[in-house]
């Protein structure tokens, strides 16, 4: 925890503050990416940082994700702590080889001779009418790569503390920011007005430096009847549905997908006897598959119903049918009905 | 399905490149352009790239057919430095021979020789400062040899034995030696290109004086990383030297599959507004001079350079390759730019600074030295003969701190070993 005064921040402001704090504290930190400099990023996450910290610390790059991440690996080899932004997670694929074969393997392949303390930030997820090239949730790909940590915050407070911890981490971190909740904790009821972050307790953010340890989940709601494992935007959607339907669910915001906080998961599922995994990403080979496998390996004899998966469909993210695709309140309610009715 | 051409239009043809000679053909290189020394004079290092496009299509040479060093590119090295260069190249050749043989003897899984292109790693490294950072591809072991990296460490790595500083994790020859300014070698091609640019940008942003040099082959210039790197370097005027070792063969694919039928690799620089030099890669003095020019240019904030070394891969791609299956065996002997070691030797002899007797003695001395070091290395074990690093090391360095799931898997592998070897078995 930080001793500095808190301020009400939305997610963008909290992320901006994390980079500002780290650029101020650590001269090795650099921020690079498309449009991140003078303009301050298409989502404004880096607004004001170049003006404050200078052009050699915060700068625009050519449009080549392979180059952005590859250059980051080289900067890290020099001794810097690069924080590249990939403008949308959908654009990360040209940089994948530099992440998978280079950043993730550097410590291992050189036996610690070279390391890669790089944090790749990228907005991800849908619900913004972004179509199939601005809505994807590719997080499970990165959890499959050994040597990368995958972090996804769900509140401004967590976003700042996790991003600072990621930047200070000596291994590469992929930091996915759920862009649907940049400006407010979206509940999945897309036809209702969105509440601003200021009404959510997670918007009270210390102005200074603090860390949230990577690999630690957060129990955002305690309950006895069913454990829900989720992260990102879906934390808020699940919470809204649970409250609306009066379900005694325990909601766990994983916050870090890898390394996974297995202890918190195991304790909760053993207590409730039911487990639902929820993510926006496509279903098959999604991170929910790994969660379901972990839970059945550890909690099989405590389970009173099959593990339920609530996810996006195995299609590209559609434009006009976005809300039919999104795992929103209807899909969640049906899944809760099923898992609670299943005979024990 | 075949499409019928429209009546009044000629059908299109797909061009699939084919090398001029295949096994059984007699190679004829009479059309290879070998200009005399100093056709294009050495420009000032601060020259604007647009003013030297001709250097990207020419061929910088210093050692002429008379074995004399002449012209404006002559770096003017003294005889001691030339002999040192010869010594390094002969060391590299002796090392390559022993390690190739070790693979054939079943002592390791894999090896790659640099025969015929030794100048491109030895002369270049000699023209750099000791603390400049090298980002090699897989065939620049000459950098380590030139910087006096202990040969035994290289052998330990090749054998993946218990002395291997990389803990037996990497394919042989994929060294890493930060203290020697040698970046960890990747098996994925040209990934080191943007990394070198990033390192150079970091150096420039810190007001450092060190520059970066990066190598790749002709074939791997086709990778996207190559083009990302050149774009970044041009944009930020990064102090980096790009080198393409054009040895004309990417495993079995001749350089035509990287575009050499259309233009030179040095000319790739032109589109990016980077200085481009095409150099006789088997002329150690030309290679040295080109690197010295590019290094001076980078170090004085005049920006990056792309150098193509025109050379020939004298051996197979690796121990896993048989070049006789796709190219005539006589090609290397017929190759008009000769052999880099022979040419330097002839130059030293022409200077009156060397003779056949001393050359033979040096080659024998180095071969014996390498043999003796090999014997020492093999005391640490050879691949597959038990003297490897402990099983736990398989799980170390994936992350700085080992997470729970790797600890679990580590315990599992130890249990598997106990199952395999009995309860008496103990982790090393």
B253-303 pLDDT tens trace: 999 999 999 999 999 999 999 999 999 999 999 999 999 999 999 999 999
Please indicate, yes or no, whether residues B54 and B123 belong to a single structural domain of this protein: yes
Distance of residue A108 Cα from the nearest chain B Cα, in angstroms: 5
ipTM of the complex: 0.96
Query: Are B197 and A80 in contact (CB < 8 Å)?
Result: no
Looking at the DSSP assignment, which residues form a beta bridge with residue A253? A218, A230
Per-residue pLDDT at A131: 94
Per-residue pLDDT at B387: 82
Domain ranges of chain A: 6-206, 218-341
Per-residue pLDDT at A194: 83
- Estimate to the nearest angstrom the gap between the alpha carbon of B44 and the chain centroid: 27
Task: Express each pLDDT in A311-335 by its tens digit.
Answer: 999 999 999 999 999 999 999 999 9
Task: Express each pLDDT in B67-81 by its tens digit.
Answer: 999 999 999 999 999
Interface contact A246, partner B, CB < 8 A: no
Decide if B35 is inside a domain.
no
Backbone dihedral angles phi then psi of residue B46, each to the nearest 5 degrees: -90, 10
Statement: A6-206 belongs to CATH 3.40.50.970: yes
Decide if B169 is inside a domain.
yes
pTM of this structure:
0.97
Task: Say if CB B29 and CB B330 are below 8 A apart.
Answer: no
Per-residue pLDDT at B138: 96
Interface contact A262, partner B, CB < 8 A: yes
Helices marked H in B262-355: 268-272, 284-299, 331-334, 340-350
Residue % of chain B over a pLDDT of 90: 93
Per-residue pLDDT at B2: 63
Residue B325: exposure state from Cβ atoms within 10 A (0-12, 13-18, ≥19): exposed
Q: Is A134 a catalytic residue?
A: yes
Residue % of chain A over a pLDDT of 70: 99
Decide if B385 is inside a domain.
no
Interface-testing mutation among A59, A63, A70, with chain B (most B C-beta atoms within 10 A):
A70
Please indicate, yes or no, whether residues B125 and B259 belong to a single structural domain of this protein: yes
Cβ burial B179-207 (10 Å sphere, 16+ → b, else e): ebbbbbbbeebbbbbbbbbbbbbbbbbee
**B186 neighbourhood in chain A, CB within 8 Å:** 101-102, 109
Nearest to A298 by CA among B405, B406, B399: B405
Task: Say if CB A326 and CB A236 are below 8 A apart.
Answer: no
Distance of residue B354 Cα from the nearest chain A Cα, in angstroms: 40
Query: Are B197 and A74 in contact (CB < 8 Å)?
Result: yes
Interface-testing mutation among A64, A110, A298, with chain B (most B C-beta atoms within 10 A):
A110
Please indicate, yes or no, whether residues B346 and B216 belong to a single structural domain of this protein: yes
Nearest to B137 by CA among B68, B186, B97, B104: B186
Reading the block at residue B70, the tokens are 């002449």
Per-residue pLDDT at B421: 87
Distance of residue A113 Cα from the nearest chain B Cα, in angstroms: 6
Q: Give residue ranges of B with CB < 8 Å to any A CB.
A: 133, 135, 165-167, 169-170, 174, 176-178, 183-184, 186-188, 191, 193-203, 205, 212, 224-225, 227-229, 231-232, 235, 397-400, 403-405
Interface contact A102, partner B, CB < 8 A: yes
**A149 neighbourhood in chain B, CB within 8 Å:** 399
Please indicate, yes or no, whether residues B326 and B225 belong to a single structural domain of this protein: yes
Residues 6+ apart with CB under 8 A from A322: A126, A127, A129, A135
Please indicate, yes or no, whether residues B298 and B401 belong to a single structural domain of this protein: no
**Is residue A110 very low, low, confident or very high in pLDDT (cuts 50, 70, 90)?**
very high
Reading the block at residue A299, the tokens are 């909690």
Q: How many domains is chain B partitioned into structurally?
A: 2
Please indicate, yes or no, whether residues B184 and B227 belong to a single structural domain of this protein: yes
Decide if B215 is inside a domain.
yes
Q: Of A134, A200, A236, A279, which one is the catalytic site residue?
A: A134
Please indicate, yes or no, whether residues B250 and B360 belong to a single structural domain of this protein: yes
Query: Are B400 and A149 in contact (CB < 8 Å)?
Result: no
C-alpha to C-alpha distance for A286 and A290, rounded to whole angstroms: 7
Residues 6+ apart with CB under 8 A from A94: A64, A65, A66, B224
Go through chain A and tell me how many residues it has.
Answer: 344
Could you say which architecture CATH assigns to the domain A218-341?
3-Layer(aba) Sandwich (3.40)
Per-residue pLDDT at B311: 97
Q: What is the mean pLDDT of the segment spanning A86-92?
A: 97
Per-residue pLDDT at B388: 86
Residue of B nearest to A94 (CA): B224
**Is residue B6 very low, low, confident or very high in pLDDT (cuts 50, 70, 90)?**
confident
C-alpha to C-alpha distance for B353 and A128, rounded to whole angstroms: 75
**Is residue A84 very low, low, confident or very high in pLDDT (cuts 50, 70, 90)?**
very high
Helix axes A156-168, A11-25, angle to 10 degrees: 30
| CA max distance for chain B | 84
Please indicate, yes or no, whether residues B309 and B334 belong to a single structural domain of this protein: yes
C-alpha to C-alpha distance for A330 and A241, rounded to whole angstroms: 9
Looking at the DSSP assignment, which residues form a beta bridge with residue B182? B134, B177
Per-residue pLDDT at A288: 98
Torsion on CA atoms B140, B146, B150, B152, rounded to nearest 10: 50
Select from A98, A111, A260 the Cβ nearest to the Cβ of B165: A111
Decide if B173 is inside a domain.
yes
Select from B165, B228, B399 the Cβ nearest to the Cβ of A67: B228
Range of the domain at B244: 49-378
Please indicate, yes or no, whether residues B318 and B405 belong to a single structural domain of this protein: no
Residues 6+ apart with CB under 8 A from B227: A64
Task: Express each pLDDT in B12-32 by its tens digit.
Answer: 999 999 999 999 999 999 999
**B177 neighbourhood in chain A, CB within 8 Å:** 113
For residue B96, pLDDT over 90 is answered with yes
Task: Express each pLDDT in A26-53 by its tens digit.
Answer: 999 999 999 999 999 999 999 999 999 9
Looking at the DSSP assignment, which residues form a beta bridge with residue B250? B253
Query: Are A78 and B198 in contact (CB < 8 Å)?
Result: yes
Q: Which residue has the tokens 């193509």?
A: B308
Query: How many CB atoms are located within 10 Å of the residue A42 CB?
Result: 15
Query: Are B224 and A64 in contact (CB < 8 Å)?
Result: yes
Distance of residue B70 Cα from the nearest chain A Cα, in angstroms: 38
Query: Are A146 and B229 in contact (CB < 8 Å)?
Result: no
Query: Are B174 and A80 in contact (CB < 8 Å)?
Result: no
**Is residue B33 very low, low, confident or very high in pLDDT (cuts 50, 70, 90)?**
confident
Task: Express each pLDDT in B177-205 by its tens digit.
Answer: 999 999 999 999 999 999 999 999 999 99
Decide if B10 is inside a domain.
no
Per-residue pLDDT at A93: 97
Peptide bond before residue B253 is cis, with ω within 30 degrees of 0:
no
Q: Which residue has the tokens 């052999």?
A: B339
For residue A1, pLDDT over 60 is answered with no
C-alpha to C-alpha distance for A112 and B398, rounded to whole angstroms: 10
Nearest to B314 by CA among B18, B89, B126, B60: B89
Interface contact A38, partner B, CB < 8 A: no
Please indicate, yes or no, whether residues B156 and B242 belong to a single structural domain of this protein: yes
DSSP string, A30-78: EEEETT-SSS--TTSTTTTHHHHH-TTTEEE--S-HHHHHHHHHHHHHH
A6-206 and A218-341 share one CATH topology?
Answer: yes
**Is residue B404 very low, low, confident or very high in pLDDT (cuts 50, 70, 90)?**
very high
Q: What is the mean pLDDT of the segment spanning B368-388?
A: 94
Per-residue pLDDT at B427: 62
Q: Which residue has the tokens 């607004």?
A: A47
Q: What is the mean pLDDT of the segment spanning A78-104?
A: 98
C-alpha to C-alpha distance for B141 and B160, rounded to whole angstroms: 17
C-alpha to C-alpha distance for A187 and A180, rounded to whole angstroms: 10
Please indicate, yes or no, whether residues B287 and B412 belong to a single structural domain of this protein: no
Three-class secondary structure assignment of B198-229: HHHHHHHHCCCCCCEEEEEECHHHHCHHHHHH
For residue A343, pLDDT over 80 is answered with no
Mean pLDDT of chain B: 96
Decide if B416 is inside a domain.
yes
Interface-testing mutation among A59, A74, A82, A260, with chain B (most B C-beta atoms within 10 A):
A74
**B133 neighbourhood in chain A, CB within 8 Å:** 78
Interface-testing mutation among A78, A84, A93, A104, with chain B (most B C-beta atoms within 10 A):
A78
Nearest to A219 by CA among A230, A208, A210, A211: A230
Please indicate, yes or no, whether residues B88 and B203 belong to a single structural domain of this protein: yes
For residue B163, pLDDT over 60 is answered with yes
Cβ burial B91-122 (10 Å sphere, 16+ → b, else e): bbbbbbebbbebbeeebbeebbbbbbbbbbbb
Task: Say if CB A118 and CB A172 are below 8 A apart.
Answer: yes
Query: How many CB atoms are located within 10 Å of the residue A182 CB?
Result: 22
Residues 6+ apart with CB under 8 A from A250: A219, A221, A222, A223, A224, A226, A227, A228, A268, A271, A272
Decide if B137 is inside a domain.
yes
How far is residue A6 from each of residues A17, A147, A201, B260, measured CA to CA in Å? 12, 34, 12, 62
C-alpha to C-alpha distance for B388 and B167, rounded to whole angstroms: 8
């Amino acid at each position: 925890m930080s001793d500095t005064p808190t301020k009400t921040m939305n997610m963008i402001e909290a992320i901006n503050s994390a980079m500002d704090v780290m650029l101020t504290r650590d001269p090795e930190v650099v921020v690079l990416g498309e449009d991140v400099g003078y303009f301050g990023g298409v989502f404004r996450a880096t607004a004001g940082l170049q003006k404050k910290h200078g052009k050699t610390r915060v700068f625009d790059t050519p449009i080549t994700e392979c180059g952005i991440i590859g250059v980051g690996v080289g900067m890290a080899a020099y001794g810097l702590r690069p924080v590249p932004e990939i403008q949308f997670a959908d654009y990360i694929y040209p940089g994948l080889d530099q992440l998978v074969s280079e950043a993730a393997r550097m410590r291992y392949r050189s036996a610690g001779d070279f390391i890669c303390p790089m944090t790749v930030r990228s907005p991800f997820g849908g619900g913004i009418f972004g179509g199939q090239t601005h809505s994807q949730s590719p997080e499970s790909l990165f959890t499959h790569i050994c040597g990368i940590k995958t972090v996804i915050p769900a509140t401004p407070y967590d976003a700042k503390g996790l991003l600072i911890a990621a930047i200070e981490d000596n291994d590469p971190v992929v930091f996915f920011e759920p862009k649907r909740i940049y400006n407010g904790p979206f509940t999945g009821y897309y036809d209702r007005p969105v509440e601003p972050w200021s009404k959510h307790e997670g918007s009270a953010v210390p102005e200074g430096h603090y860390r949230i340890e990577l690999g630690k989940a957060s129990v955002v709601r305690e309950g006895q009847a069913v454990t829900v494992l989720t992260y990102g935007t879906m934390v808020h959607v699940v919470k809204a549905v649970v409250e609306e339907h009066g379900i005694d669910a325990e909601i766990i915001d994983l916050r870090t997908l890898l390394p996974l906080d297995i202890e918190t998961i195991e304790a909760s599922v053993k207590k409730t006897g039911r487990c639902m995994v929820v993510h926006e990403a496509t279903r098959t080979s999604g991170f929910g598959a790994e969660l379901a496998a972990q839970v059945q390996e550890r909690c099989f004899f405590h389970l009173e119903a099959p593990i339920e998966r609530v996810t996006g469909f195995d299609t590209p993210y559609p434009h006009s049918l976005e809300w039919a695709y999104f795992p929103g309140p209807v899909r969640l309610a049906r899944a809760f009905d099923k898992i609670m009715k299943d005979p024990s | 399905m075949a499409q019928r051409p429209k009546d009044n239009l000629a059908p299109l043809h797909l061009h699939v490149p084919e090398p001029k000679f295949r096994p059984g053909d007699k190679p004829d290189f009479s059309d290879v352009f070998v200009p005399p020394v100093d056709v294009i004079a050495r420009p000032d290092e601060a020259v604007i790239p647009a003013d030297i496009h001709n250097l990207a299509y020419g061929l910088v040479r210093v050692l002429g057919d008379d074995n004399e060093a002449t012209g404006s590119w002559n770096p003017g090295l003294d005889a001691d430095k030339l002999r040192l260069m010869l010594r390094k190249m002969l060391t590299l050749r002796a090392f390559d021979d022993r390690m190739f043989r070790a693979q054939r003897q079943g002592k390791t899984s894999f090896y790659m020789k640099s025969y015929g292109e030794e100048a491109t790693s030895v002369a270049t490294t000699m023209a750099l400062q000791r603390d400049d950072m090298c980002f090699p591809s897989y065939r620049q072991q000459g950098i380590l040899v030139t910087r006096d990296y202990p040969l035994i460490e290289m052998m330990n790595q090749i054998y993946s034995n218990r002395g291997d500083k990389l803990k037996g994790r990497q394919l042989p020859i994929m060294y890493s030696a930060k203290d020697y300014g040698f970046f960890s070698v990747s098996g994925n091609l040209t990934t080191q290109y943007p990394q070198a640019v990033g390192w150079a940008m970091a150096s420039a942003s810190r007001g450092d004086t060190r520059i970066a040099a990066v190598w790749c082959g002709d074939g791997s210039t086709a990778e996207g990383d190559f083009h990302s790197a050149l774009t970044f370097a041009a944009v930020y005027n990064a102090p980096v030297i790009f080198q393409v070792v054009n040895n004309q063969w990417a495993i079995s694919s001749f350089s035509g599959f990287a575009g050499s039928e259309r233009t030179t690799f040095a000319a790739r620089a032109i589109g990016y507004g980077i200085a481009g030099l095409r150099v006789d890669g088997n002329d150690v003095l030309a290679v040295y001079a080109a690197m010295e020019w590019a290094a001076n240019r980078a170090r004085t904030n005049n920006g990056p350079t792309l150098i193509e070394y025109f050379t020939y891969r004298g051996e197979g791609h690796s121990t896993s390759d048989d070049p006789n299956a796709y190219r005539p065996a006589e090609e290397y002997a017929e190759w008009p730019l000769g052999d880099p070691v022979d040419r330097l030797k002839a130059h030293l002899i022409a200077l009156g600074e060397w003779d056949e007797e001393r050359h033979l003695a040096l080659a024998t001395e180095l071969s014996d030295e390498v043999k003796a070091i090999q014997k020492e290395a093999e005391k640490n074990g050879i691949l597959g003969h038990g003297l490897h690093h402990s099983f736990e090391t398989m799980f170390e360095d994936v992350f700085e701190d080992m997470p729970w799931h790797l600890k679990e898997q580590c315990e599992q592998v130890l249990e598997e070993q106990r199952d395999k070897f009995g309860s008496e078995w103990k982790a090393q």
